[in-house]
Each structure stands twice: as structure tokens, then as C-alpha cells.
Structure 1
Amino acid sequence: MGARMRLTSVETVHEEGSWLFTARDRNGEDEEVILVPCEDGVAAWINRCTHEAQPFDIGRGAPIRNGELICPRHGSMFDTCSGDCDNGPAADTTLPSVDVEVEDGTVYLTDDDFDYLREGGGGTDEDGEDGNDGPDSTSHISF
């Protein structure tokens, strides 16, 4: 498990605001992982809020404002670089990280607990749609 795998460029993550991929963990479970911009490159987090496991990115990019990843359901905000949350229902939690490295502007998956499967989310339903219409928001935060 965990062979070094080229993902994308730092430039792409910064231009698009986030980059989603799917990886398989040690238990054989598929996990969506999101790359987000940081001051010194990128960070990688499991693509779900620690409060109710709501996905941040459902295939249209993650909601990020002022260096914070925002849960679209309840509005908890996580620092994109540290994964820490100090507000909302997810306060005092930290997003589960995935190890990546940047070399010459390219982002590589280097986490021994994950094998890269594909760019994008977890798959499609029988209609060919992404199968995730996203959460019903109860957040007070507007975009």
C-alpha cells in the first residue's frame, strides 16, 4: 500500500481552489480526499466534516473562504492548513489528514495507508450522476 503517486500540480489546486480524488484505505474502504491550498503549498484532508460526516466537495469544488474550509451543512470552518476547527458544531476537532508531498510544483500522495484510485469523488449512480446532491444546509453562512 501507499506507493508514491502523482496527483496534480500545486498550481491547479490554487487555481481551482481545491482538488478531489478517491483513494482506498488499509481496510479496503474508498475514501474521498480533498487537496486545498495552503501558504506553503497544499494540504490533504478526508473529504468530510468531523461533525456529521458531510462532504465538503461533492464534485463542484469545496467552499473555502479566507483560508477556511466551510462545512456546507452547519457552517463549521476548518483551517485549510492545520485542519483545526474552533467554531460551530465541529469546534475543537481536527480533520483527518492524508500525507502528500510537493516536489517541483507537483503534488504526490505519499500516505502508506492509502492507494490512489482516481481523480474525483466516489463514483456515479445508475443514471451516471455523481450520486451526491450535497447536504441540506442549515448554516447561517452565505456565499
Structure 2
Amino acid sequence: MPRDTRLTTVETVHEAGSWLFTVRDRFDAEEEVLLVPCEDGIEAWMNKCTHEAQRFDTGRGAPIRDGEIICPKHGSLFDTCSGHCDNGKAADTTLPSVEVAVDDGEIYLADAEYEFLHEGGIEDDEGPSSTSHLSF
């Protein structure tokens, strides 16, 4: 699979708060990946909660507050830098990561397991069914 495909810029991710893109894995399945800013730079996580595979970003940006990605269904909080969750239904789990590289402010997909398909998510209209106690 192609490596080191340019995705976007660090500035874009920081300004938008997150950046969503779609990849194909080695089994030919499409997956969504979320770029998020963290204190150490940029991290890339699969765009789904570890509890029930609920999507964080449904096309409007990921809900992030105080350095944590918020699951819109149950309110579990995932650290943007480590991907770890220590509360709620997803407690003691960590988001699957995708390797990216940053060079001179540009972000590249550097994970040999995935092929970049396009910016944005997989086309579907399914939004979150929230049971979260959090409000935005």
C-alpha cells in the first residue's frame, strides 16, 4: 500500500479541532480516522469509541473538550494524546492508533496497514444515538 501520503497541515487540525479522513485496510475494509491536536503534536485514532463503535465525528467535527475526545453516545472521555479512557462505559480501553508523520507542518499517513482514500468520512447518514449525560 502507498506510504507517506500527505493528509493536511498541523495548522488546519489545530484550527478545526479535528480532521477526519477515510482509509482502506489490508482486508479491503474502509475505516475512518481522526486527526486530533495534542500537546505533543498530532495524533491519529480510529474514529470510533471502543465501547460500541460509536463514531466520534459524524461529519461535523469531533467533540473535544479539555484535551479529551468525547463519545457522543455514553460520554466516555479519551485523552487526545494517549487515546486512553479512564471513565464511563469505555473505561480502561485505548483507541486504536494510526501512524502519521509530521514534516515541516505537513501531516502524512505513514502507516503501511492503511491506504488513504479521501478526506471526510465513509458516506452514510447514521448519526449518534446519544444517552450521554454531557451537554455541549
Letter in 1 for 2:44: A
Percent identity for Structure 1 against Structure 2: 68
- Aligned equivalents of 1:66 and 1:35: distance in 2? 16
Q: CA deviation at 1:2?
A: 4.1
4+ long deviations beyond 6 Å: none
2:1 aligned with 1:8, yes or no? no
Aligned pairs (5 A) from 1:121-136: 121-123=121-123, 131-136=124-129
What SS is found at the alignment partner of 2:15?
helix
Aligned pairs (5 A) from 1:11-22: 11-22=11-22
How many aligned positions are there? 136
Letter in 1 for 2:60: R
What SS is found at the alignment partner of 1:7?
strand
| TM score, norm. by length of structure 1 | 0.93
Mapped contact 1:32–1:122 kept (Cα < 8 A): yes
Counterpart in the other structure of 2:77 = 77
Name structure 2 gaps, 5 residues minimum: none
What SS is found at the alignment partner of 2:51?
coil
Q: CA deviation at 1:40?
A: 2.2
Mapped contact 1:49–1:56 kept (Cα < 8 A): yes
- Aligned equivalents of 2:90 and 2:26: distance in 1? 26
